[in-house]
Amino acid sequence: MASATAPGKVILVGEHAVVYGRPAIAAPVWQVVAKATIAPAAPGAGFTIVARDLGQVLQLADASEDEPLAVVARLALARLGIAHLPDWRIELHSDIPIAGGLGSGAALSTALVRAIFAQAGQTAPPAIVSELVYASERFYHGAPSGIDNTVVAYGQTIWFVKGQPPEPFTPGAPLLLAIADTGIRSPTVLTVSAVREAWLTQRQRYESIFDAIGDLVHAARRALVYGDAVTLGALFNENQAWLASIGVSCDAIEALTSAARKAGALGAKLSGAGGGGNIIALVEPTTAAAVQTALLAAGAQRVIITPIGAHTSDGLDAGQP
């Protein structure tokens, strides 16, 4: 028997523009995780994936070609050179809200890949996990940049440019985020394709917005490295204004981000694809409680206070090979 976990994620700056080649910065969130537990099943029982949170029970032998969890499981088995489906049963659980911008799909797939490797007595390096999970991400995202699978697989704050190896880095000083859920579920694939439609018809305008976002992401990296929370907060606000201008914000996001700023947050923005999902607010130990209270009063369904860059993990539970 083996088990493995994978964290949720936030995009600190640069979502959407990252799909068009600009850099972005993302960080793992270990307060919410996906977990996969795998055990041998009775001979002839086949390879079963039980994902109760998704209401899914999949027999891998019969699962369709466009079922993300089946795609990723088949790829992991192939990578391990396991040609015949073993009699294994995998239970998947996640407390990461689905379609909430926190990388639920990537985390489920990452936990699944790690558990399959662990059951085969191997440890999957982050680059391999990320590559395998990317193949399933296109079912959630349409045209994913690859940032979600990368940050979840590496479990570290990363500088990411599509098509290039990620650069994990450590912020120069501890930073604190409030992550607040609008309660609105917004599938990434819909927002990403709406942005693409608009980009196709207003290419010049969108390219210059993406350039501006790219510039602020560079400034945000410097602010993170120097531990300059005041500058980073201002960059969150600037990024949010650009995201609103391309139509991926919504009333609930605006209500939560402005409530957070009024309560003392240094900056706030949507995180992930937008259209709902979660917002992030940069807070300090002295303002965290007031911001949390204000977010809940403004309608947040759940607020997580989390440090950035403080935790890394290989996602394997203690005692696994």
Give me the residues that bind ligand MEV (CB under 6 A), please. 11, 15-16, 18-19, 141, 144-145, 147-148, 188, 192, 272-273
Question: Measured from the CB of residue 263, what is the shortest distance to ligand MEV in angstroms?
Answer: 26
Q: In angstroms, rounded to a whole number, what is the distance separating the alpha carbons of residues 122 and 102?
A: 28
Question: Measured from the CB of residue 134, what is the shortest distance to ligand MEV in angstroms?
Answer: 10
Q: In angstroms, rounded to a whole number, what is the distance separating the alpha carbons of residues 130 and 122?
A: 16
Q: What is the β-pairing status of strands 2-13 and 24-40?
A: antiparallel
Question: Measured from the CB of residue 277, what is the shortest distance to ligand MEV in angstroms?
Answer: 9
Nearest residue (CB) to ligand MEV, 15 versus 181:
15
Angle at 216 (CA atoms; ends 150, 182), nearest 5 degrees: 65
Size of the chain in residues: 321
Count Cα neighbours of 219 within 13 Å in the Cβ-side half-sphere.
Answer: 16
Report which residue type is found at 240.
Answer: Q
Q: In angstroms, rounded to a whole number, what is the distance separating the alpha carbons of residues 309 and 297?
A: 28
Question: Measured from the CB of residue 188, what is the shortest distance to ligand MEV in angstroms?
Answer: 5
Angle at 205 (CA atoms; ends 200, 207), nearest 5 degrees: 75
Nearest residue (CB) to ligand MEV, 38 versus 209:
209
CA-based diameter of the chain, in Å? Answer: 60
Residue 16 structure tokens = 């959407």
Nearest residue (CB) to ligand MEV, 18 versus 294:
18
Question: Measured from the CB of residue 297, what is the shortest distance to ligand MEV in angstroms?
Answer: 27
Nearest residue (CB) to ligand MEV, 61 versus 241:
241
Chain residue whose CB lies nearest ligand MEV: 145
Nearest residue (CB) to ligand MEV, 16 versus 221:
16
Question: Measured from the CB of residue 141, what is the shortest distance to ligand MEV in angstroms?
Answer: 5
Nearest residue (CB) to ligand MEV, 103 versus 233:
103
Strand partners, 59: 48
Question: Measured from the CB of residue 41, what is the shortest distance to ligand MEV in angstroms?
Answer: 34
Contact residues for 81 (Cβ-Cβ < 8 A; gap 6+): none
Decide: 152 and 315 in contact? Cβ < 8 Å.
no
- For residue 288, give the nearest of 269, 270, 308, 266 by alpha carbon: 266
Nearest residue (CB) to ligand MEV, 94 versus 287:
94
